[in-house]
Structure 1
Amino acid sequence: MLVIGLFKQSIELEQALAELENKMIPKEHVLVTFMDKKNKEQEHRVHPFEIGMCFGTAGAVIGATCGFAMTLGPIIWGLIGLIIGYWVGAGIHFLVHIRKKASPFLHEVTVIVQCSKEQFLHVRELFWEYGALSIGEHQ
């Protein structure tokens, strides 16, 4: 019988593997593999240029609208609004993403254990005890 557990790479995983090896399952019956997961943020990231252009467009519209009542006219105030809006948007993007980089990406680890039916329940409980994300079985 195969028991398959999915873990985040952590000290709990190391403790679970040590307990498996010490108590019941020989090392040859345990397979540990790291998953190469593509992060969703890597697939599509919002760039500072895109955010800056969105804010710049809004600034240009507001500047041009207010420019009808001001001295320099709508074109100049629209350009001023574009520049100010762009830098405000890009600045906000950088401030938000500086905080997000503090959390590291933890790889997922798959543990496959070959065991008997008598050991299955104990292995499954051990995986849940040490923080498995999900557990599967195959007979």
Structure 2
Amino acid sequence: MQLFSTYENHIYLEIAILNLEKVGIKKENIYAVPLDNREESRKIFDTLHRSDGISLIDIAMPLATAFAVITASIGFELKWGPIYWGLIGAVSGFIIGLLIRLFMVLLSNKKQHRLKGKQSEVLLIVECDETKGEVVEKILWEHFALGLAKVIKN
């Protein structure tokens, strides 16, 4: 039987390994593998196959509408007329809204370089007999494993 668990790189991992050795698990059957966590920042623009759920035009479209209405109504008194000024207002409102949203997304990405919550930093693999499986599982949970999975060999 193999038990896989993930931990933060913390003293509880060391204590769990020591307790596993006390129960009778040999050092050769305990594997601790450090994980590389993602440090890369998220991409701003979505592709056809990947989307992060952040919309960049949610502020731009209402601003484009508002600017188009305001400039079109003012355009009745200006030289080019309401249609041209409405289009100019729509484009400028869209660009302003897009810049506001890009600024907000870039600021929030700098604050959120790491994932929220606890991160797995070490993968602990324990090979043992099925008779000791329950004890090993209890030890791993007691020492704050973030996740646990077991594979029974046939």
TM-score norm. by structure 1 comes to 0.70
Alpha carbons of 1:38 and 1:23: their partners in 2 closer, same or farther (altered >3 Å)?
same
Alpha carbons of 1:122 and 1:52: their partners in 2 closer, same or farther (altered >3 Å)?
closer
Q: Is 1:30 aligned with 2:30? A: yes
Query: C-alpha distance in 1, partners of 2:130/2:101?
Result: 59
Could you tell me whether the CA contact under 8 Å between 1:5 and 1:112 is conserved in 2? yes
TM-score norm. by structure 2 comes to 0.64
Runs of 4+ in structure 1 over 6 Å off: 36-39
What percentage of residue pairs aligned between the two structures are identical?
A: 20
Name the structure 1 match of 2:152.
138
Query: C-alpha distance in 2, partners of 1:64/1:117?
Result: 71
Deviates more, 1:115-124 or 1:61-70: 115-124
Query: C-alpha distance in 2, partners of 1:26/1:119?
Result: 12
Alpha carbons of 1:99 and 1:123: their partners in 2 closer, same or farther (altered >3 Å)?
same
Partner SS for 1:83: helix
Q: Which runs of 5+ in 1 are unaligned?
A: none
The structure whose residues are more often helix, as a share, is: 1
Partner SS for 2:64: helix
Considering only aligned residues, what root-mean-square deviation do their CA atoms show, in Å? 3.4
Task: Give 1:116 deviation, angstroms.
Answer: 3.4
Q: Which runs of 5+ in 2 are unaligned?
A: 47-53, 79-84
Task: Give 1:67 deviation, angstroms.
Answer: 1.5
